[in-house]
Copies of this chain bind each other. A is one copy, B any other.
């Protein structure tokens, strides 16, 4: 039973909170009208597609909404921006019913509320498979506050927030791996948290380049290396591992650090920093309730090199959504 478009939009206007005084017009007109909350606007769009990024067997409607919103917002966190508004287009199959639809919207709203953002508009269409496109708008007070992928320089250290591997271990748990702490690992995979406070702390103390860990450390570091024009060398023994990852990796017959380096959809922040800024940066990140680990260094050259426990290069696989 699929509800019709206008009925669903009417319900969405109830599920999504109206936003603060900056939101002059929200859902319900041709377009939303918003007063910018900063001198520069930071905008990103991120889509998730059934069968590519999630399955309805694994993800509840609420988790789909949560993940779509969190992964999109994570791109703003990775710029050091403040969150503002979300605009969401959805393709909704006929067998996705009204109750599931409302749960999906509630998952989006929960993430938006948790970071102080407002869902201000959207578009619904019938579709063969479920997909969501989430455009997120954030703000910064100046261009120089924003951290891109292009500023890493030889001599910088490489650092990462949080602990890695939990998302891949959670996926393995969802797929049937019996592992201690499975609940927390599964939540890590299904319901990630965009790291806005850490991102702003990193931007404020002088991160030179930053990206969120969405495609696996190798591929994400590769983006910084390619755009910055330097090499990134990451020492696997220095990777901070999420609780339960050592055991889960062992059960899967995998080396834990390599397993963590290949884990995508972590939504922690990978950055480069001047080496002199590490102590202040770690303290600033700790003050946000997250943590920062130095995992390597930027060097002249190009590409990403991982060093294993024995100090020799190790092959790390990133993942490519589009194949």
Contacts and interface: CB of A to CB of B under 8 A. Distances in A.
B125 A47 contact: yes
A24 interface: yes
A81 interface: yes
Which of A31, A149, A150 has the most CB atoms of chain B within a 10 A radius of its CB?
A31
Nearest to A81: B31
Number of copies: 2
B320 A47 contact: no
Interface stretch (A84-92, A175-183, A236-244, A291-299): A84-92
A90 to B, nearest CB: 8
Contact residue range for chain A? 35 or more
Contacts of A322: 2-5, 8, 92, 124-126
A163 interface: no
A227 interface: yes
Contact of A323 (B31, B41, B126, B323): B126
Contacts of A122: 45
A129 interface: yes
Interface stretch (A48-56, A185-193, A250-258, A272-280): A48-56
Contact of A125 (B28, B44, B52, B127): B52
A115 to B, nearest CB: 15
Given A30-B44, A33-B146, A75-B30, A128 B87 contact: no
Given A34-B40, A41-B41, A29 B91 contact: no
B76 A31 contact: yes
A257 to B, nearest CB: 25
B52 A42 contact: no
A211 interface: yes
Q: 4 tightest A-B contacts by CB?
A: A5-B322, A133-B133, A31-B44, A89-B133
